[in-house]
Amino acid sequence: TVRCVQVIDETDDVKTFRFVAEPPILFSYKPGQFVTLDLEIDGKPVKRSYSISSAPSRPHTLEITVKRVPAPPDAPDRPAGLVSNWLHDNIKVGSEVRLNGPMGKFTCADYRPDKLLFISAGSGITPMMSMSKWLCDTGADVDVVFVHSARSPKDIIFHQKLQLMAALHPNFKLAITTTRPEIDQAWSGYTGRLNEAMLAEMAPDFRDRIVYVCGPNPFMAGVKGMLAGLDFPMENYNEESFGGKKPSKKKATAATPEPVKGEDRPRLHLVESPSTSNEPTVVFAESGKEVSCDAEDVILDVAEQEGVPLPSGCRMGACGACKRKLLEGKVEYDDEPDALEEDERQEGMILTCVAHPVGRVVVSA
Ligand code: FES
């Protein structure tokens, strides 16, 4: 359990929540990792993961930085950012929260390269901030170019802190672009979406750098495509996704479970006309629910829509909280998930938060 000791308004819609451990301990994590918050909202247990925005070089407190998420313009009644907005409205100084973690492999701490290039957009800045503070605090001999894309000057999260770091540390270079600068806001930095010419000016030696990218999925896809097109060595490319569903690429990394012996298999309570076609269908064995869905859907979303309780955490294949056994059928992942070991795959375990059903699947849930 952690207790909130400070709430900092970073921008109009972004707050940093600073916590201390209760009872007090020093936090230990790698910069760039995330934690999962274990909350109860409207009487229902909810878990959500947030990148840690503080640095382990200042271990007495731990910070997460959260953007309020508006309802989609086409559905103003829908509570889009349920958890983020709840945190904004409910976490005050003195509030206690259960945290799990740290988790995640998006960190520069395991391997300290000579030159780094951080590229973020929006609240994807948080793990970059953690890594940058850690590098500056520890006096690391690493040359960092910190590229950030924000909507407008007033939306730049950590702007003053970043400017201070750039002023104090000669090997920390800051380059910010704003995509929708407003007339009444003074801005002398880059404007427009990050493009090849801009990148070449911000970091002419970008091909020599280890790159970390975090932001909305379309942003990351754009940066990845741009770098690949510029002959960047993609083995030096790292990315962390947040929010939204990844666009489906349907790469063939199907998990094939071992056959389950009849006597071990939970009894199925299927709906009256079980699907026999190849259309994606998820059968939740213990709950006795059979749901036809879209091939783009992930099993965790299908379960939640049907009220089938499944644990979850990061929702991006990194923490392992949503692991379940696949009893029949096959699933596909867009990308190789981090939180599944080879022996678990062999046993038929899947990560429901990132697993798409291929035809009819039966899941232990
Ligand atoms: S919820 Fe973290 S791996 Fe699925």
- Ligand 1 centroid to residue 242 C-alpha, Å: 12
- The pLDDT of residue 319: 82
Q: How confident is residue 323, by pLDDT bands cut at 50, 70 and 90?
A: very high
State the alpha helices, DSSP H only, in the chain. 82-90, 125-137, 159-168, 196-202, 217-229, 299-305, 342-346
> Residue 321, Cβ neighbours under 10 Å: how many?
21
Domain edges within the chain? 2-103, 115-241, 262-363
299 pocket-lining for ligand 1 (C-beta < 6 Å): no
Instruction: Report CA torsion sign: 260, 261, 267, 269.
Output: positive
Bridge partner residues of 52 (DSSP)? 64
The fold adopted by the segment(s) 115-241 is Rossmann fold (3.40.50)
- pLDDT at 142 > cutoff 70: yes
- pLDDT tens string 70-104: 765 555 554 556 788 999 999 999 999 998 878 88
123 pocket-lining for ligand 1 (C-beta < 6 Å): no
Minimum-distance ligand 1 atom for the alpha carbon of 319: 2
Q: How confident is residue 266, by pLDDT bands cut at 50, 70 and 90?
A: very low
Q: How confident is residue 278, by pLDDT bands cut at 50, 70 and 90?
A: confident
What's the whole-number mean pLDDT along residues 284-309?
Answer: 86
Token duo for residue 357: 């059903």
Q: What is the CA radius of gyration of the chain?
A: 22
The candidate with the shortest Cα–Cα distance to 2, out of 18, 40, 104, 15, is 18
- The pLDDT of residue 261: 33
d(CA 105, CA 112): 14
d(CA 158, CA 194): 19
- pLDDT at 353 > cutoff 80: yes
Range name among 16-20, 53-57, 68-72 with the lowest pLDDT average:
68-72
Helix (H, G, I), strand (E, B) or coil at 62: strand
Give 111's DSSP letter: S
Range name among 145-154, 189-198, 257-266 with the lowest pLDDT average:
257-266
142 pocket-lining for ligand 1 (C-beta < 6 Å): no
91 pocket-lining for ligand 1 (C-beta < 6 Å): no
- Domain 262-363 sits in CATH at 3.10.20.30
CB 46 within 8 A of CB 107: no
**ipTM given for this complex:** 0.99
319 pocket-lining for ligand 1 (C-beta < 6 Å): yes
The candidate with the shortest Cα–Cα distance to 183, out of 150, 148, 153, is 153
The pLDDT > 70 percentage for the chain reads 87
What's the whole-number mean pLDDT along residues 110-130?
Answer: 92
For a ligand 1 pocket test, name from 105, 322, 340, 349 the mutation site with the most ligand atoms within 8 angstroms of its C-beta.
Answer: 322
Residue written as tokens 């949503």?
A: 322
Minimum-distance ligand 1 atom for the alpha carbon of 36: 2
47 pocket-lining for ligand 1 (C-beta < 6 Å): no
What's the whole-number mean pLDDT along residues 12-38?
Answer: 93
The pLDDT > 90 percentage for the chain reads 57
187 vs 266 pLDDT, higher one: 187
- The pLDDT of residue 78: 45
273 vs 293 pLDDT, higher one: 293
Q: What is the DSSP string of 100-163?
A: EEEE-S--SSSS--SEEEEEEEGGGHHHHHHHHHHHHHTT---EEEEEEEESSGGG-TTHHHHH
- The pLDDT of residue 81: 66
- pLDDT at 258 > cutoff 60: no
- The pLDDT of residue 296: 81
Bridge partner residues of 173 (DSSP)? 145
349 pocket-lining for ligand 1 (C-beta < 6 Å): no
Token duo for residue 65: 């930085």
Q: How confident is residue 203, by pLDDT bands cut at 50, 70 and 90?
A: very high
- pLDDT at 155 > cutoff 60: yes
- pLDDT at 270 > cutoff 50: no
The candidate with the shortest Cα–Cα distance to 365, out of 312, 305, 288, 294, is 288
For a ligand 1 pocket test, name from 314, 338, 363 the mutation site with the most ligand atoms within 8 angstroms of its C-beta.
Answer: 314
- The pLDDT of residue 217: 82
CB 124 within 8 A of CB 216: yes
Average pLDDT, the chain: 84
The CA angle 194-198-202, to the nearest 5 degrees, is 110
Report which secondary-structure segment, H or E, holds 270: none
Q: Say if domain 2-103 classifies as CATH 1.10.357.10.
A: no
